[in-house]
Amino acid sequence: MNIGEKLFELRREKNLSQEEVADELNVSRQTVSKWETNQSVPDFDKIVPLCELYGVGVEELLTGKKPEEKAQMAQEEDIPTKNEVRKKSAEVVSTSVFLYIFSIVVVIIGIPVLNWDPILVSSVFLLIIGFATARIIKHYMSIPKFEETKEEHKQNQIMKEINGVIGAICTVLYFVISFTTMAWHVTWVIFIIDGLLCQVVKLFFMLKEEKIDEQ
In the chain, where the domains are located: 3-75, 79-214
Calculate mean pLDDT across residues 63-87: 61
Q: Are 193 and 104 in contact (CB under 8 A)?
A: yes
Percent of the chain with pLDDT over 90: 6
Alpha-carbon distance 116 to 112, whole Å? 8
pLDDT for position 65: 64
Q: CA–CA separation, 130 vs 199, rounded Å?
A: 15
Which pLDDT does position 209 carry in this prediction?
67
pLDDT at 74 over 50: no
Helix-strand-coil split of the chain, %, nearest 5: 80, 0, 20
Average pLDDT, stretch 48-61?
Answer: 83
**Residue 151 in this model has a pLDDT that exceeds 80:** no
CATH 3.40.640.10 fits 3-75, yes or no: no
Nearest of 45, 44, 43, 60 to residue 7 by alpha carbon: 60
Average the pLDDT over each of 42-51, 87-96, 138-147 and give the range with the smallest value: 138-147
- Model confidence over 153-202: pLDDT tens digits? 787 788 888 888 988 998 999 899 888 888 877 787 788 788 888 878 87
Q: Using pLDDT thresholds of 50, 70 and 90, give the confidence band for residue 78.
A: low
Q: Which of 206, 211, 210, 203 is nearest to 97 (CA)?
A: 203
Q: Which residue has the higher pLDDT, 77 or 107?
A: 107
Nearest to 87 by CA among 207, 212, 213, 208: 207
pLDDT reading at 41 higher than 80: yes
More confident residue, 142 or 20: 20
Tell me which residue of 44, 53, 48 sits closest to 18, measured CA to CA: 53
**Average pLDDT value for residue range 210-214:** 58
